[in-house]
């Protein structure tokens, strides 16, 4: 569990499918994430099961990667997702790069929650790995997410091609993060 002033982040569980489906089926939230893929709850439940199994296997193998449900601390209302994991390659497998990422239900945009969870995920990334830098990748048209990267102090780097396509890349180094 990761905690911030206003949020809690806890790894996805099977029972999260129902309460988190409301933003997964929102085209506006999924616009820069490849569109709505799980409009039906039953499909989404299968997807959540895959996520839970995948990260359980990573934990078993000693990797810290995870997908977190983000809750408002005050209400325990689920409002979004935070990720910390390897960047998937354009073909099979993963690149030797890790990413932090975020998405939020539309109802809670504009309150600084993405920046707040991004800070917690970045702290967590540097605390649980010895990586010298981490990435946040963004669809070139996703100005809101690029703004989150900048607010966090991530620096634009050369674009990268991965399973998400040709995406903008923002980088944070360990030295800059702990000197800030």
Ligand X SMILES: CC(C)(COP(=O)(O)OP(=O)(O)OC[C@H]1O[C@@H](n2cnc3c(N)ncnc32)[C@H](O)[C@@H]1OP(=O)(O)O)[C@@H](O)C(=O)NCCC(=O)NCCS
**Contact set for ligand X, span 7-36 (CB under 6 A):** 29, 32-33
Residue 143 host element (H or E): helix 143-152
Rule CB under 6 A: which of 62-121 touch ligand X? Answer: 101-104, 109-115
Residue 23 C-beta: closest distance to ligand X, Å: 8
Sign of CA dihedral 49, 21, 36, 65: negative
The string of DSSP codes covering 86-129 is EEEPSSSSEEEEEEEEEEE-GGGTTSSHHHHHHHHHHHHHHHH-
- C-beta separation of 22 from 39 below 8 A: no
Interface with ligand X (CB under 6 A), residue from 11, 38, 47, 142: 142
* Distance, CA of 166 to CA of 155 (rounded, Å): 17
Instruction: Give bridge partners of residue 2 from the DSSP assignment.
Output: 9
Residue 173 binding ligand X, by CB under 6 A? no
CB of 61 to ligand X, least distance (A): 26
Instruction: Write down the least CB distance from residue 137 to ligand X, Å.
Output: 6
The residues in 33-62 that bind ligand X, with binding defined as CB under 6 A, are 33
Minimum gap (Å) between residue 120 Cβ and ligand X: 12
């Amino acid at each position: 569990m990761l905690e911030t002033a206003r949020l809690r982040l806890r790894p996805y569980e099977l029972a999260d499918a129902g309460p988190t489906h409301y933003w997964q089926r929102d085209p506006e939230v999924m616009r820069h994430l490849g569109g709505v893929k799980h409009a039906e709850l039953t499909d989404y439940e299968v997807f959540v099961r895959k996520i839970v199994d995948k990260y359980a296997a990573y934990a078993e193998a000693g990797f810290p990667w995870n997908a977190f449900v983000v809750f408002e601390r005050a209400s325990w209302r689920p409002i979004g997702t935070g990720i910390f994991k390897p960047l998937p390659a354009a073909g099979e497998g993963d690149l030797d790069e890790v990413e932090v990422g975020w998405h939020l239900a539309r109802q809670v945009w504009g309150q600084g929650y993405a920046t707040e969870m991004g800070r917690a995920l970045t702290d967590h990334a540097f605390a649980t790995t010895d990586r010298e830098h981490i990435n946040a990748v963004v669809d070139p048209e996703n100005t809101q997410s690029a703004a989150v990267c900048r607010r966090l102090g991530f620096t634009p780097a050369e674009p990268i091609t991965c399973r998400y396509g040709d995406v903008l890349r923002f980088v944070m180094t360990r030295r800059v993060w702990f000197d800030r």
